[in-house]
Amino acid sequence: MDRKYNLCFTKAVASGNDFIILDNLSGELSTKDINYSEMAIELCPRRISIGADGILVLERSDKADLKMRIINPDGSEVDMCGNGARCSAVYASKFGLGEELDIETRAGIISASVKGNNVKLKMSEPKDIKTDINLGIGKSLMKVHYLNTGVPHVVHLVDNIETYDVHNVGRQIRRHTMFEPDGTNANFVGEKEDGRLMIRTYERGVEEETLACGTGTVATAVTLGLLDQVTSPVSLLTKSGEVLKVYYEKKGNRIYDVYLEGEAALAWEGKI
């Protein structure tokens, strides 16, 4: 690292998604000259720095118990991160904000119920739903489904989920002209040999496959529900080996009362 920030941080993980938490609930960091985008670009690369799927900045909120900002490794700030919210909830609960929390995000206020390391989030209602899109990838057409669960996601059903080329296909979907200018996350779901549903995600802003994605898991479960392939609750195996559970209510083509449940933990603390 080229710069010394003289800041304490907490490393947190949820289903293999890992984050650098910066606590600004006191407002102290606001008095410092911090460029969080530059910080994320410097601190998130693996092997040469701390390594993370993003930075979470926790701030005071006039609308909720706390506000969560999410900065991706490429420096972009995004509206929502499900696994990041679970990490933030565990952190806030551990440091005295209680077990029932409201968290302000750029995608709206979400609620979290914390029991030890288990967190159940009430997510925003999915929007901008478009099913059965024929997407041109290379010389072939691929049927995908699109929706926003706080951030945009494409979902594609595959037969060979364990060997599927998530990185290359995901990268093409993420930057497809149909989703310009901001792009999208790309999720792939299918059955393993043992019959369990598995999800793999190429994340926008991380620009590679991650071990899990909370909003992507919700998008995938909701899509499968809309296609009448599953009923709530839906358990999805992530690449990390952990299972995330999604609950929802369905009325016609409307999905509401959506929850994401799984474990999150504070791994270690450090100073930069």
Q: Measured between alpha carbons, how far apart are the two ends of the chain, in Å?
A: 9
Say if residues 104 and 68 touch (Cβ distance below 8 Å): yes
| Helices within the chain (DSSP H only) | 36-43, 82-92, 166-174, 214-226
Burial-class residue 195 by CB neighbours within 10 Å (0-12, 13-18, 19+): exposed
Burial-class residue 35 by CB neighbours within 10 Å (0-12, 13-18, 19+): exposed
What are 221's two structure tokens?
A: 């479960």
Whole-angstrom distance, CA of residue 143 vs CA of residue 131: 9
Whole-angstrom distance, CA of residue 261 vs CA of residue 85: 11
Q: Is 87 a catalytic residue?
A: no
- 8, 44, 81, 87: the catalytic one is 81
Say if residues 101 and 65 touch (Cβ distance below 8 Å): yes
- 8, 44, 87, 213: the catalytic one is 213
Whole-angstrom distance, CA of residue 107 vs CA of residue 211: 23
Q: Which residues contact 241 (CB under 8 A, 6 or more apart)?
A: 16
Instruction: List the catalytic residues.
Output: 81, 213
